């Protein structure tokens, strides 16, 4: 007799119990409190709260420029956020609206005070939720011991720790994808479609998880309907963000050899962990596609359209954690634990480093503090390139005291992230009339923007001003220029 499609769906509990020794470990255990249920999320919370402010040697917390975008956009009025999303950053729109609601409740008084907690706590909570979800998936497929090890493995992965402490959407996306995976296993299709769609609207590259799920679930009519619903309801965001792709992702290049090497290392680890009878085949069928397909597909697409950044597919690490945790849970003897012990030293060093400002590309709060020390109220300030205006936008009490020489319209007025600038002639006129200028520049060695506005800034400073001083501050340079003979 022909087996119906739903029964042949490999994620069905009846099938699992025939293939691994854990037998009945599903619904009876749900009601009792076990370590796999609370230890992974608790560990994720503790790791997330440890060094949450990323304070430097001076005790001042750190925030990099992407987080600054979250801070300044989410503090705009709702109408202003909506107008911005029509121009740029629609892919992060739902996250900005969520953070707007968080800041309405509590914003900590500003990023230099308790605001970094308000900015990052949602990511900490999402990472704890994702760790609990990884444990739940492993419990469903391989039992309690695997659940505990997998959830803990996810929580301690350094990239997971990194984005648990970042005011961006990636930890929330990972939580949505992980729990959508669990709901797929339970065949709760309405909930599955809802949670995965939420992840996709937080960042549309979460849709790649749908393809990973399809490897094991494509025979299920429920999954096919759910996939169709997710794709259809994601289309409005996809259409808007496609129009914005050039300005949104134009800074990206094609994946470099380092990206391919990192992917190769992860792929080898995943395939080695998936070998043998120690890991249930049903778990392999879920974890391997989740670990390899989203980053692999995005990297392949990026050979034509450069869209790849590893954080866009952070959720793929859940697949690696499932395999590593289940393999460790099934291991016998001392050698697996010796390997774990050997990893503790580099993972520990990496974890400590992630909690320093140096672990990010720059630190807008350090830049603002340095400008505050060097600039006088009313000093002209010049951003080179213009997008580095972000370094001061999250410190409005400082930015408001300076005269932005090149600014035509503010970010809020222009419905943009960093505002719009004057034509080159007006920039030149304002510059030559200024007695001194505080210029904020990228680190030495970075490519120079070829645009006319940026060229006229560089040429005018070189021809009409003396360079009085230049200081490097965590991913930035602060240069003080003055008219000839007027350096302090």
**pLDDT tens track for 155-189:** 999 999 999 999 999 999 999 999 999 999 999 99
Report yes or no: 374 and 438 within 8 Å, Cβ to Cβ.
yes
Tens of pLDDT, residue by residue over 39-83, are 999 999 999 999 999 998 888 899 999 999 999 999 999 999 999
How much is the pLDDT for 381?
97
Tens of pLDDT, residue by residue over 397-451, are 999 999 999 999 999 999 999 999 999 999 999 999 999 999 999 999 888 888 9
Average pLDDT estimate for 306-325: 96
Residue with tokens 């496609």: 242
Q: Which of the four pLDDT bands, split at 50, 70 and 90, describes residue 20?
A: very low
Distance CA 63, CA 371 (A): 16
Tens of pLDDT, residue by residue over 320-365, are 999 999 999 988 878 777 888 888 889 999 999 999 999 999 999 9
Tens of pLDDT, residue by residue over 454-470, are 999 999 999 999 999 99
CA distances from 257 to 52, 296, 298, 418 (A): 32, 14, 15, 32
| 11, pLDDT greater than 50 | no
Q: Which of the four pLDDT bands, split at 50, 70 and 90, describes residue 112?
A: confident
Q: Which of the four pLDDT bands, split at 50, 70 and 90, describes residue 32?
A: low
The three-state secondary structure class of 407 is strand
| 22, pLDDT greater than 50 | no
How much is the pLDDT for 214?
96
How much is the pLDDT for 321?
98
| 3, pLDDT greater than 80 | no
Distance CA 356, CA 52 (A): 10
| 10, pLDDT greater than 70 | no
Largest Cα separation within the chain, whole Å, is: 95
Phi then psi dihedrals of residue 199, to 5 deg: -60, -40
CB-count burial class (<10 Å; 0-12, 13-18, 19+) for 150: buried
| 382, pLDDT greater than 70 | yes
Tens of pLDDT, residue by residue over 255-271, are 999 999 999 999 999 99
pTM for this structure? 0.90
Beta bridge mates, 439: 382, 479
CA distances from 318 to 180, 272, 308 (A): 12, 16, 19
CB atoms within 10 A of CB 218: 13
Closest CA to 115 of 165, 162, 55, 53: 53
How much is the pLDDT for 23?
44
Closest CA to 120 of 164, 66, 158: 164
How much is the pLDDT for 21?
43
Q: Which of the four pLDDT bands, split at 50, 70 and 90, describes residue 250?
A: low
The three-state secondary structure class of 383 is strand
Average pLDDT estimate for 103-109: 89
Residue with tokens 């992060």: 92
Distance CA 105, CA 97 (A): 13
Closest CA to 487 of 385, 384, 382, 374: 374
Residue-averaged pLDDT of the chain: 90
């Amino acid at each position: 007799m022909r087996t119906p499609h739903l029964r042949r769906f490999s994620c069905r509990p009846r099938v699992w119990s025939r293939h691994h020794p854990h037998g009945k470990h599903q619904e009876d255990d749900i009601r009792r409190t076990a370590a796999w249920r609370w230890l992974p999320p608790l560990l994720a919370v503790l790791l997330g709260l440890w060094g949450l402010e990323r304070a430097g040697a001076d005790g001042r917390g750190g925030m990099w420029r992407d987080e600054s975008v979250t801070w300044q956009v989410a503090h705009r009025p709702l109408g202003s956020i909506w107008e911005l999303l029509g121009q740029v950053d629609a892919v992060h729109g739902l996250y900005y609206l969520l953070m707007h609601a968080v800041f309405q409740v509590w914003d900590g008084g500003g990023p230099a005070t308790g605001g970094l907690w308000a900015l990052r706590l949602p990511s900490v909570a999402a990472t704890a939720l994702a760790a609990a979800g990884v444990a739940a998936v492993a419990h469903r497929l391989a039992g309690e011991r695997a659940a505990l090890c997998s959830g803990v493995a996810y929580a301690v992965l350094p990239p997971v720790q990194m984005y648990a402490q970042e005011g961006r959407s990636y930890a929330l996306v990972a939580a949505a994808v992980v729990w959508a995976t669990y709901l797929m296993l339970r065949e709760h299709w309405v909930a599955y479609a809802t949670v995965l769609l939420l992840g996709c609207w937080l960042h549309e590259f979460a849709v790649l998880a749908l393809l990973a799920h399809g490897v094991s679930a494509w025979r299920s009519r429920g999954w096919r309907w759910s996939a169709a619903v997710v794709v259809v309801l994601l289309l409005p965001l996809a259409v808007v963000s496609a129009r914005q792709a050039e300005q949104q992702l134009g800074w990206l290049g094609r994946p470099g050899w380092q990206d391919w090497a990192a992917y190769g290392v992860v792929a080898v680890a995943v395939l080695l962990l998936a070998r043998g009878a120690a890991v249930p085949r049903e778990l392999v069928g879920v974890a391997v596609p989740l670990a390899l397909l989203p980053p692999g597909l995005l990297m392949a697409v990026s050979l034509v359209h450069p869209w790849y950044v590893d954080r866009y597919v952070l959720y793929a690490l859940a697949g690696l954690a499932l395999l590593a945790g289940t393999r460790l849970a099934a291991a016998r003897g001392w050698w697996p634990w010796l390997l774990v012990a050997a990893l503790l030293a580099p993972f520990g060093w990496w974890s400590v480093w992630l909690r320093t400002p140096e672990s990010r590309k720059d630190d807008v709060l350090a830049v603002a503090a340095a400008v505050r020390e060097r600039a006088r109220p009313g000093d002209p300030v010049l951003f080179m390139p213009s997008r580095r205006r972000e370094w001061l936008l999250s410190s409005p009490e400082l930015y408001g005291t300076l005269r932005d020489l090149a600014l035509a319209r503010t970010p809020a007025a222009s419905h943009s992230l960093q505002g719009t600038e004057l034509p080159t002639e007006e920039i030149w006129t304002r510059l030559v009339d200024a007695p001194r200028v505080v210029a904020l520049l990228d680190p030495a060695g970075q490519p120079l923007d070829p645009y006319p506005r940026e060229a006229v800034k560089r040429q005018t400073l070189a021809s009409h001003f003396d360079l009085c001083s230049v200081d490097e501050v965590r991913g930035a340079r602060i240069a003080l220029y003055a008219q000839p003979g007027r350096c302090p």
